[in-house]
Amino acid sequence: MDFIPVSAPDLHMQEMLHTVYLGLFKHMMDWIQTFLKKHRRLQAFDDVWNALPPYPGFWVPKKAYRKVAQWQGKEIRNLGRCILGVLAVVLRQPQSSQVIPFKNALGCVRALVNFTMMAQYRSHTSDTIAYMEHYLDQFHRMKGIFLEFRVTKRTLAKVDEQRREIRHQRTQMGQPVAPSKRRRICDNNREEEH
Amino acid sequence: MDWIHGELHFNFIKIHPRSHFSDHIRQFGNIPMYSTELGELAHKEQIKEGWRRSNENDAARQIVHSYSRQHAIQMRLLNLESFRGRGADLSADVLQHLKSSTSTVTAPVVRKRILKGCQDDVSNVLDFSKVSGVSRESICRELIRYSRHNLLTERQLPEDHAILQSLPVELLTQLEIPVVAFQESDVYDINRGRCTGALHFRNQGSRNDWVWVQAGSEEMYGALRGHLPAKLVALFKIRDYTCANAVHRVAAIRMLSAVNSGFTLDIHGLVTVQMREDAPEFTIVDVGTIHGLAHLIPEGERRWLVNSWIDLRTFNEVY
């Protein structure tokens, strides 16, 4: 088999901006926002977000999180520096049913932020690399809490298709089309997708 | 419903590369970060300066020439420098030039804390109490406490309130604190602590920053390792004319205390601090005990969370 000649600059290189900040943090913020919406704490998030004090090299947010339409790498980096603290304040005093989900969500975000901080070190020892791997493991163990917010377009398409089928069957059987539980959840997810 | 849950997964592309980070570090070193700032800054040297040097007529060609000329000169200088290093025979004027251009590289390193932004309307302790709205008695009491605890016997401030109130004072608004950059030994970041009292800062609300103060030995306060956050109340210099015009550079701060003896809470891994009801209105400390700025996120009435993820240095120290 022939290999197409590969030049070194074309090879994939690990870097922070696209893999971590623009890659994962952006996804994570979507999950967190949906998570907070589910637990009715979005307003609290915006309040804490707007009350952050200044710090050298830290850009104090001027707008509510939801009102920012576009995110630059620098702003997401900023976000990574304060998200855990903000979330810790927002998720305090949980109701008894929220204790476990809040704990897991904080744990998951904490693992990711820890991993990111470790990855930014400019020199490493075997200890720091071990820490990094440990945090990554932790993240993978705890990310399940956000699974329900990982709705892909393919799933949405399938839901649509199923719904159409059900409606079709019901109209054929002469039954009224009542909004089912599934439909309500799906609408919710669709809104998030927008 | 179940099949929807079955469909959900974390198997997307951005989640994968991170599993290679540790191998990448072992083989190639640290993970670099991209920033557009360097590229944008380069425009200044490559384009803007070239434009200014041109006669603005057919400028593109002149800009390119200007930059390549500069580049060629820099290359030549580097070559000459390496020749000199190998002991080559160079003419006197070349040597002179190399000497002058290399001597500028070793700039003096600033390590001292600097107070800036003098307010003109304050000349002694009396004025200071009027401007800051703190009673004269409490300022004198705290000054005496400071002098008894921190100053040598022969350098202590006079304890007579009348003399103490007449001592010249300079009220300042900014403290520049050099902080050793993370994983560096001779590079300093300058943290600028602002303390404007009731005055506005850049036409917006007043600004009185949070700072880290050395409050005890390394073993105290759990994860905070002997440091406690405090709010700047005032920055001032006081000159003691009764004792050889000695100048004391001090800060009035309001100390916070650590909740849970400074250990992190399991749930989020952050330290909580609070302002106790019975805490004194302010304490006076030497500016040397202020170690840098702190980032606190308000958690409720008189309670804050110490944000240890704000930068790598804090992340490495507070855990």
DSSP notation for B237-282:
EEEETTTTTEEEEEEEEEE-EEGGGGPPPTTT--EEEE--TTS-S-
Verify that A159 and A100 share a domain, yes or no: no
Verify that A31 and A114 share a domain, yes or no: yes
A88 interaction partners in chain B (CB closer than 8 Å): 267-268, 270, 297, 305
Taken in order B250, B254, B260, B264, the sign of the CA dihedral is negative
Verify that A75 and A161 share a domain, yes or no: no
B8 interaction partners in chain A (CB closer than 8 Å): 147-148, 150-152, 155
Verify that A159 and A141 share a domain, yes or no: no
The arithmetic mean of pLDDT across residues B1-23, rounded, is 77
Query: In terms of CA atoms, which chain B residue is nearest residue A47?
Result: B298
Strand B169-180 relative to strand B188-194: parallel, antiparallel, unpaired? antiparallel
Structural domain that includes position A27 = 8-149
**What does the CA dihedral A135, A136, A137, A142 come to, rounded to 10 degrees?**
90
Yes or no: say if A88 and A107 are a contact pair by the CB < 8 Å rule. Answer: no
A152 interaction partners in chain B (CB closer than 8 Å): 7-8
Take residue B213 and report the two structure tokens written for it.
């103060």
A62 domain residue, yes or no: yes
Three-state SS string over B94-122 comes to HHHHHHHHHHCCCCCCCCCCEEEEEECCC
Report how far residue A161's alpha carbon sits from residue B319's, in angstroms, rounded to the nearest whole number: 50
Tell me the count of A-B CB pairs closer than 8 A. 153
Residue of B7, B295, B299 lying closest to A155 (CB–CB): B7
ipTM tops the 0.85 cut? no
A1 domain residue, yes or no: no
Report how far residue B116's alpha carbon sits from residue B172's, in angstroms, rounded to the nearest whole number: 6
Claim: this prediction has a pTM higher than 0.80 = no
Contact A150 B268 (CB under 8 A): no
> What confidence category does residue A150 fall into, taking pLDDT thresholds of 50, 70 and 90?
confident
Yes or no: say if B224 and B216 are a contact pair by the CB < 8 Å rule. Answer: no
Residue-averaged pLDDT of chain A: 82
The arithmetic mean of pLDDT across residues A14-19, rounded, is 76
Contact A56 B191 (CB under 8 A): yes
Percentage of chain A beyond pLDDT 70 is 87
Verify that A140 and A166 share a domain, yes or no: no
Take residue A25 and report the two structure tokens written for it.
């943090």
B307 interaction partners in chain A (CB closer than 8 Å): 81-82, 84-85
A162 domain residue, yes or no: yes
Verify that A173 and A131 share a domain, yes or no: no
User: CB distance from B88 to chain A under 8 Å?
Assistant: no
A2 domain residue, yes or no: no
> What confidence category does residue A109 fall into, taking pLDDT thresholds of 50, 70 and 90?
very high
| Backbone region of residue B99 per phi and psi (left: phi > 0; alpha: psi in -120 to 50; beta: other values) | alpha
Total number of domains constituting chain A: 2
Report how far residue B129's alpha carbon sits from residue A17's, in angstroms, rounded to the nearest whole number: 50
Report how far residue A111's alpha carbon sits from residue A136's, in angstroms, rounded to the nearest whole number: 7
One-letter amino acid for residue A14 of the chain: Q
Verify that A72 and A168 share a domain, yes or no: no
Q: Is the pLDDT of residue B296 over 90?
A: yes
Verify that A50 and A122 share a domain, yes or no: yes
CA atoms within 13 A on the CB side of B214: 8
Pick among B26, B295, B299, B314 to test the A interface (most A CBs inside 10 A): B295
User: CB distance from B269 to chain A under 8 Å?
Assistant: yes
A107 domain residue, yes or no: yes
A141 domain residue, yes or no: yes
Q: Chain A neighbours among B 157-196 (CB < 8 Å)?
A: 182-183, 189-192
A42 domain residue, yes or no: yes
A3 domain residue, yes or no: no
Report how far residue B209's alpha carbon sits from residue B44's, in angstroms, rounded to the nearest whole number: 34
A35-77 tens-digit pLDDT:
999 999 999 999 999 889 989 888 888 888 888 888 887 788 8
A111 interaction partners in chain B (CB closer than 8 Å): none
B56-94 tens-digit pLDDT:
888 899 999 998 998 899 999 899 888 888 888 888 888
Map residue A106 onto helix, strand or coil.
helix
Pick among A12, A28, A30, A122 to test the B interface (most B CBs inside 10 A): A122
Nearest-Cα distance to chain B for A20, in Å, is: 8
Verify that A38 and A93 share a domain, yes or no: yes
Report the length, in residues, of chain B: 319
Verify that A113 and A134 share a domain, yes or no: yes
Q: Give the position of tokens 């040397």.
A: B288
Verify that A82 and A175 share a domain, yes or no: no
Rounded to 5, what percent of chain A is helix, strand, coil?
Answer: 70, 0, 30
Verify that A135 and A163 share a domain, yes or no: no
